[in-house]
Structure 1
Amino acid sequence: MQLSKRVQNITPSSTLAITAKAKALKAAGHDVIGLGAGEPDFNTPEHIIEAATLSMKEGETKYTPSGGLTTLKDAIIDKFKQDQQLTYIQEEIMVASGAKHALYTIFQALLDEGDEVIVPAPYWVSYPEQIKLAGGEPIFLQAKEADDFKISKDALSAAITSKTKAFIVNSPSNPTGGLYTKEELQALGEVATEHDVMIISDEIYEKLIYGDVEHHSIASLSDELKKRTVIVNGVSKAYSMTGWRIGYAAGDKALIKAMTDLASHSTSNPTTPAQYGAIAAYQSDQAMVEEMRQAFESRLEKAYEQLIQLPGVSCVKPKGAFYLFPNVKEAAEAGGFATVDEWAGALLDEEKVAVVPGAGFGAPDNIRLSYATSLSLLEEALQRIGHFIKRTSAARKGVQ
């Protein structure tokens, strides 16, 4: 069988691959601590589960409009008004089968062969693959660790060509946890306006921010920026609903219609009971969101302090999401490993700690650690990593 060139060129998701390997080792009886998964370790709140269950009992098990239930769109519209003071109408909202599906559909609806999308690196692993599947070309713009992994106005401007269709803003970021300030977003928005390019703003982690900072949507900074921005969000992270697969896009009516038409020939509609669960998530008391955010912040503070004590490890302190993204190049070299990927593989094999190598995020000197797990497991994992670093470094010195 001859597979299509487009699928042959896909790089599998490194985050899902490491999670699958960790689960396989655990199933085989090994004491594995998985720090690879990009999902909260809390269950979906009970009132959301009850709302979805009730909807099924009441017969809401059939097709819905391809772009989502009008009642869910209304809940999303209300959320935008309350959180970002942004006003949208029904025709500017498309509900998708997860934020990942919303992004995939944006690229399919937006890009022609050879169109370029600027992707700041480090980046979420699926951005470049989705762009390539739509016939586009990801243009990587490397952000420096010294700049908290954020790109500058000048760097963005220099990367834009006549083929540039859009650039991606992911704030808070997966994998770095970086958060752009209002002023930084304004500067990037000025470049987009000057060069007439679109902005794809991935805001899936907006509710999970820590310290004395605020989340700002670039679309909220001016009417002009709102017109050229498509926002991607969903209920997966803030409400611990990753498996429910409900995300959405908000933006220009023509783009949203094209995305909705495309979805009508692919997914038909987002899962019906899950949409009712999402309605309950947005229309109910938000106290559980804050409780989970506080739990993550507490873990971050303790895990970060333990992490930066490890030899050969440095780390920019994240301001959002639930990841640490340390640079471990020095530790890997001290242990005699040629790459961080090899180091991470040996860490899993020898110490049974699963982390995601940074190469898949465009940062080969780093690894991603998820602190969406219990504090006791985090502390144990970091102890194992510390032991691994000291043991491999000592072994190499002994050989030398």
Structure 2
Amino acid sequence: MSTAMRQLVHGRRDDVAAPWQRTAAGSNLLGDDGGLGVTIFEEMTTLAARTGAINLGQGFPDEDGPAEIAAAAMDAIRNGANQYAPGKGTLTLRTAVAHHQERFYGLTPDPETEIIVTTGATEALAATLLALTGPGDEVLTFEPFYDAYGAVIGLSGARHTTAPLLAPDFQPDLHALEAAFSERTRMVVVNNPHNPMGSVFSREALTRIVELAHRYDALIVTDEVYEHLTFDVPHIPIATLPGAAERTLTISSAGKTFSFTGWKVGWLSGPADLVAAVRTVKQFLTYSSGAPFQDAVALGLGLPDAFYNGVARDLKAKRDLLSDGLREAGFDVFTPQGTYFVNVDTAPLGFADSLELARRMPEQIGVAAIPVPVFCHPDGARRTRSLLRFAFCKKTEVLQDAAQRLASLKKGA
């Protein structure tokens, strides 16, 4: 390899990592020797496929969403909606997002200037971080954190700081949260409801986040893709709290609510100046995508309350089914208030290392799950060493089968 090529791949100086290295390091994919690993999702999905295990690792449903939404997308394709959508998204979808925010939360974003459509929530997050943070800034997330956060923070060149979510309820530790803020905190990323821990942040916690963001003049970015998947507790968008709206960018998507994760249709809303800054970056990432899906998602956002209530009710039943099976297997189960995910402590079964157990389970009992330490920095990984995450967004019969297989762990403990 030439010197110039080596500099491009490995960084121009020994003390400057290449962008891909910062991205890999931020998502815990870069080994101590500089070697590149694969995501835990790829590793566990590959293991599940090779062994025929039930994959309760990656959070995607195994059933399609509402037929009327799928039919609307197919009609759009037949009717010629197959070229570029507008860069900021179709007006139909932007208007539907605005109506959704007002209907459920009383927020009134302007579809013309305060909403953009993105390629899933992930692009919205990436465009936001790349537009508004960089070297010298700190970006604060809660830990454990969704791995994409660490990856994009690394790519931006900002420093990733964290505040812990502690068992058993995985609410923010407010004292640790305050200590994690500094004069360099440019942005706090709030994932609520929270993946991977399944917690729904309390009003007290959200209020404290807003207070600290004001004190340190930080932006708030809130990832609310599980907003309609909460169980007996309300989802409170942080933008609805006093003093929050002017500094908050809210991100959501169609994938989780409507079970069309492969469509990758997301959106971002907030103050016009911040949205314009994000749009400037976003237009040079994908420009636009998912043209035939956008108006179909708009239809979905207008579905009656019975649909939204039914989604949460059905998912709660699946949560309880899998949780009962996990308890029967001998795990300590942390009952989630939202999302697709239930976490357990493996220590009662004699497994102190959840990563080791996760790598054994597909072949040993035919179930795949995700170890929580992979969503953490080193200190957090030690704190969560025995925690394991299972996805329950699967068919009832699949969860019943998984529960039976998991019972064999207790027998073999």
* TM-score normalised over the length of structure 2: 0.87
**Whole-angstrom CA distance in 1 between matches of 2:390 and 2:193:** 16
Residue equivalent to 1:239: 258
**Is the contact made by 2:135 and 2:158 (CA closer than 8 Å) also made in structure 1?**
yes
Q: Counterparts of 1:379 and 1:185 in 2: how far apart (Å)?
A: 36
Secondary structure of 1:205's match? coil
How far apart, CA to CA, are the structure 1 residues paired with 2:350 and 2:89? 47
Structure 1 unaligned residues grouped into runs of 5+: 394-400
Aligned pair partner of 2:113 in 66, 70, 91: 91
Q: 2:141 is paired with a residue of what secondary structure?
A: strand
Instruction: Please tell me whether the aligned partners of residues 183 and 216 of structure 2 are also in contact (alpha carbons under 8 angstroms).
Output: no
Structure 2's unaligned 5+ residue stretches are: 11-17, 30-37, 377-383
- Aligned partners of 1:180, 1:259: CA distance in 2, in Å? 26
Q: Does 1:279 align with 2:298?
A: yes
Please list, as runs of the form range in 1=range in 2, the aligned pairs for 1:222-301 lying within 5 A after superposition: 222=242, 224-301=243-320
- Give the Cα–Cα distance (whole angstroms) in 1 for the partners of residues 305 and 71 of structure 2: 16
C-alpha separation between the residues in 2 aligned to 1:173 and 1:96?
21
Shift of 1:389: 4.0
CA distance in 2, matches of 1:105, 1:329: 40
1:348 match: 362
| CA offset digits 1:258-313 (Å, max 9, x no partner) | 221222222121221111221121133453333332221111122222322333x2
Which of 134, 157, 160 is residue 138 of structure 1 equivalent to?
160
Which of the residues 110, 115, 125 maps onto 2:132? 110
Bigger mean CA deviation after superposition, 104-113 or 189-198: 189-198
> Which whole-Å CA distance do the structure 1 matches of 2:43 and 2:295 have between them?
31
Matched ranges for 1:188-207 at <5 A: 188-207=209-228
For 1:6, which of 15, 19, 22 is the aligned residue?
Answer: 19
Distance 1:380 1:50, change over 3 A: closer
Give CA deviations for 1:306-348 in whole Å, capped at 9, x if unaligned.
322333x212211101111111134343xxxx72211111111
Tell whether the 8 Å contact from 1:332 to 1:340 is kept in structure 2 after alignment. Answer: no
Q: Distance in 1 between matches of 2:42 and 2:99?
A: 33
Cα deviation for residue 63 of structure 1 reads 1.5
How far residue 183 of structure 1 moved from its aligned partner, in angstroms, is 2.7
* Secondary structure of residue in 2 paired with 1:238: helix
**CA–CA distance in 2 between the matches of 1:22 and 1:237?**
22
> SS of 1:269's equivalent?
coil
Aligned length: 379
Give the deviation of 1:34 after TM superposition: 0.9
Q: 2:124, 2:282 within 8 Å by CA — same for their partners in 1?
A: no
Using the alignment, how far apart are the partners of 1:317 and 1:57 within structure 2?
44
Residue 398 (structure 1) aligns with: none
Instruction: Write the mapping of 1:326-345 to structure 2, written as runs, cut at 5 A.
Output: 326-333=344-351, 339-345=353-359
Partners of 1:14 and 1:125 within 8 A in 2? no
Task: Check whether the contact 1:13–1:126 (CA below 8 A) recurs between aligned residues.
Answer: no
Can you list the C-alpha shifts for 1:151-194, whole angstroms capped at 9, x where unaligned?
A: 13322111111211111211111111101122321122112112
CA contact (8 A) 2:166 2:173 kept: no
> Higher mean Cα deviation, 131-140 or 6-15?
6-15
Residue of structure 2 in register with 1:318 after alignment: 336
1:123 to 131, 142, 145: 145
2:406 match:
385
Relative to structure 1, the CA distance from residue 353 to residue 285 in structure 2 (aligned partners, 3 Å threshold; closer, same or farther) is: same
1:45-64 aligned at under 5 Å gives the runs: 45-64=66-85
Residues 200 and 16 of structure 1, relative CA distance in 2, 3 Å threshold: farther
Q: Alignment partner of 1:191: what SS?
A: helix
Structure 1 Cα separation of the partners of residues 173 and 367 of structure 2: 35
The change in CA–CA distance for 1:49 and 1:377 in structure 2 (over 3 A counts) is: closer
Root-mean-square deviation (CA, aligned residues, Å) is: 1.8
In structure 2, how many angstroms separate the alpha carbons of the residues matched to 1:123 and 1:181?
18
SS in 1 for 2:244: helix
Is the Cα–Cα contact under 8 Å of residues 153 and 191 in structure 1 kept in the other structure? no
String of CA shifts for 1:192-215, please: whole Å, max 9, x gaps: 11221111111110101112x111
Asked whether 1:22 is paired with 2:48, we answer yes
